[in-house]
């Protein structure tokens, strides 16, 4: 496998790095403290093409490959994982799902706005009783005349209040179990669609996570994605790619914390020398660097599989499993290298440690990744 980056890849990575340093770093601590959505910054990310990177230029996107996308995700996540989760959901789940499975009218009406960042999207699968067990959808979509009537509750929805368009998974034919599930595009402001209060979170506090209630919401039939009953496959296929984006986010969180720890070890003195000269610290940095490189290889492998038209269910799940564990392990060590300073906000590593945890939970917990991996290696 050739992981050599092209000039274009390097240009995209550097553009994301510059943007993160100049536009996201100022105010990142305050936004975390106040749970404030990075509205202006997300708008600029849309203008720069970071919200529809892989969408065809025909629909307003950047027409880039998955490798470019993971490089940009890593750089944005090094500085602000709240901004990168917005980017990840919009690119991997919403834009990709619509471009791959939506019809031409849906692409013209919705994808063109989502790809440019004029509108933001949300992906609504999880429910109070259907998180990991995604086939147990309780939200119903009952067919009536020229529309469907949606009833139910969705939980943990990223971009819950900032989105304009929501991809909602719901059960239409309960007797058919997962084969009776559909996916719909629901517009904000639809009658009966209510956004619940914002969740008070441990990490990625700048992103807005809400529950959503659907009370007899009328959704036009033309807003169903794909054939009747395609919704569960739509969700699974979309999440497979989503996991590559989240793996890149986890990698970025780990790399950001590692870089801060490495630089800190060169300036902080203890026992008469810079702490990097103590093996206790140098060995930590060696372990952190090694895990990050291993995670980066898995992320790149999954991105290359997707770009080469190979199956990426297995490589994406492995990348997410390993990169999210790396994010957790490395950020904890980065706090340790900083000592007391690591425990206070101005050094950034405590925030990265809190942000890391969600990467082991969303788009399928680590246990879900192990289900996907073990099924793939044992049954295929």
Give catalytic residue positions.
Answer: 363
Kindly tell me which of 135 and 290 has the beta carbon lying closer to ligand CAA: 135
**What is the smallest separation between the CB atom of 362 and ligand CAA, expressed in angstroms?**
4
Looking up tokens 């919704």, which residue turns up?
231
Q: Using CB under 6 A, which residues numbered 213 to 242 contact ligand CAA?
A: 232-233, 236-237, 239-240
Stretch that binds ligand CAA, among 33-41, 122-130, 195-203, 256-264 (CB under 6 A): 122-130
> How many Cβ atoms are within 10 Å of 345's Cβ, its own excluded?
12
Kindly tell me which of 178 and 289 has the beta carbon lying closer to ligand CAA: 178
Q: Which of 32, 305, 355, 363 binds ligand CAA (CB under 6 A)?
A: 363
The DSSP call for residue 212 is E
Q: What is the spatial distance between Cα 51 and Cα 268, in angstroms, rounded to a whole number? A: 38
Residues 255/365, Cβ–Cβ less than 8 Å: no
**What is the smallest separation between the CB atom of 230 and ligand CAA, expressed in angstroms?**
10
**What is the smallest separation between the CB atom of 365 and ligand CAA, expressed in angstroms?**
8
Verify binding: residue 321, ligand CAA, rule CB under 6 A.
no
Q: Which of 149, 326, 362, 373 binds ligand CAA (CB under 6 A)?
A: 362
Tokens found for residue 339: 């000592």
Verify binding: residue 198, ligand CAA, rule CB under 6 A.
no
Verify binding: residue 132, ligand CAA, rule CB under 6 A.
yes
> How many Cβ atoms are within 10 Å of 255's Cβ, its own excluded?
24
Q: Using CB under 6 A, which residues numbered 47 to 86 contact ligand CAA?
A: none
Binding track, positions 139-178, relative to ligand CAA; x by CB under 6 A: -------------------x-------------------x
Q: Which of 111, 134, 212, 247 binds ligand CAA (CB under 6 A)?
A: 134
Q: Three-class SS of residue 148?
A: strand
Number of residues that bind ligand CAA (CB under 6 A): 22
Residues 349/342, Cβ–Cβ less than 8 Å: yes
Verify binding: residue 182, ligand CAA, rule CB under 6 A.
no
**What is the smallest separation between the CB atom of 217 and ligand CAA, expressed in angstroms?**
20
Please spell the DSSP secondary structure of 242-289, one letter per residue. HHHHHHHHHHHHHHHHHHHHHHHHHH-EETTEEGGGSHHHHHHHHHHH
Q: Which of 37, 96, 123, 264 binds ligand CAA (CB under 6 A)?
A: 123
- The residues, ordered by sequence, that sit 6+ positions from 21 with a Cβ below 8 Å of its Cβ are 79
Kindly tell me which of 126 and 223 has the beta carbon lying closer to ligand CAA: 126
Q: What is the spatial distance between Cα 295 and Cα 103, in angstroms, rounded to a whole number? A: 36
**What is the smallest separation between the CB atom of 32 and ligand CAA, expressed in angstroms?**
18
Tell me the torsion sign for CA atoms 98, 99, 102, 105.
positive
Which of 172, 199, 164 is closest to 35 using CA atoms?
A: 199
Cα 117 to the center of its chain, rounded Å: 16
Helix axes 39-47, 81-88, angle to 10 degrees: 50
**What is the smallest separation between the CB atom of 93 and ligand CAA, expressed in angstroms?**
6
Tokens found for residue 54: 């892989």
Kindly tell me which of 155 and 291 has the beta carbon lying closer to ligand CAA: 155
Q: Where are the alpha helices (DSSP H) in the chain?
A: 7-19, 28-34, 39-47, 66-79, 81-88, 96-101, 104-106, 112-116, 231-267, 279-307, 313-338, 349-358, 366-379
Stretch that binds ligand CAA, among 59-67, 127-135, 147-155, 334-342 (CB under 6 A): 127-135
Q: What is the spatial distance between Cα 77 and Cα 70, in angstroms, rounded to a whole number? A: 10
Q: Which of 71, 86, 89, 276 binds ligand CAA (CB under 6 A)?
A: 89
**What is the smallest separation between the CB atom of 264 and ligand CAA, expressed in angstroms?**
31
**What is the smallest separation between the CB atom of 339 and ligand CAA, expressed in angstroms?**
33
Binding site for ligand CAA (CB under 6 A): 89, 123, 125-126, 132, 134-135, 158, 178, 232-233, 236-237, 239-240, 313, 362-364, 368, 371-372
């Amino acid at each position: 496998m050739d992981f050599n980056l092209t000039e274009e890849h390097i240009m995209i990575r550097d553009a994301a790095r510059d943007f993160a340093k100049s536009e996201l770093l100022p105010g990142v601590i305050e936004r975390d403290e106040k749970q404030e959505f990075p509205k202006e910054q997300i708008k600029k990310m849309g203008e720069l093409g970071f919200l529809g990177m892989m969408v065809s230029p025909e629909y307003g996107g950047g027409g880039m490959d998955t490798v470019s996308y993971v490089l940009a995700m890593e750089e944005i996540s090094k500085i602000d994982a709240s901004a990168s989760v917005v980017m990840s959901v919009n690119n991997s789940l919403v834009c990709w799902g619509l471009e791959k499975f939506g019809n031409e009218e849906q692409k013209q009406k919705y994808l063109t706005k989502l790809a440019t960042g004029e509108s933001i999207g949300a992906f609504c699968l999880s429910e109070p009783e259907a998180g990991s067990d995604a086939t147990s959808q309780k939200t119903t979509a009952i067919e009536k005349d020229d529309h469907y009537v949606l009833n139910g509750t969705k939980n943990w929805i990223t971009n819950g209040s900032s989105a304009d368009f929501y991809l909602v998974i719901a059960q239409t034919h309960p007797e058919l179990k997962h084969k009776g599930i559909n996916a719909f595009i629901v517009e904000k402001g639809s009658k009966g669609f209510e956004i619940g209060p914002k969740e008070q979170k441990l990490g990625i506090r700048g992103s807005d996570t809400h529950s959503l209630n659907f009370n007899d919401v009328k959704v036009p039939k033309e807003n169903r994605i794909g054939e009747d009953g395609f919704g569960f496959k739509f969700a699974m296929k979309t999440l497979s790619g989503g996991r590559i984006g989240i793996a890149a986010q986890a990698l970025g969180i780990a790399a950001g914390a590692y870089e801060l720890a490495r630089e800190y070890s060169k300036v902080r003195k203890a026992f008469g020398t810079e702490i990097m000269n103590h093996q206790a610290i140098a060995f930590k940095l060696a372990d952190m660097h090694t895990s990050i490189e291993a995670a980066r290889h898995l992320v790149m492998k999954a991105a290359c599989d997707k770009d080469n038209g190979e199956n990426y269910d297995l490589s994406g799940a492995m990348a997410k499993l390993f990169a999210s564990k790396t994010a957790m392990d490395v950020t904890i060590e980065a706090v340790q290298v900083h000592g007391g300073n690591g425990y206070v906000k101005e050094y950034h590593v405590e925030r990265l440690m809190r942000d890391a945890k969600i990467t082991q939970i969303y788009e399928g917990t680590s246990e879900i990744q192990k289900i996907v991996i073990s099924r793939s290696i044992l049954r295929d």
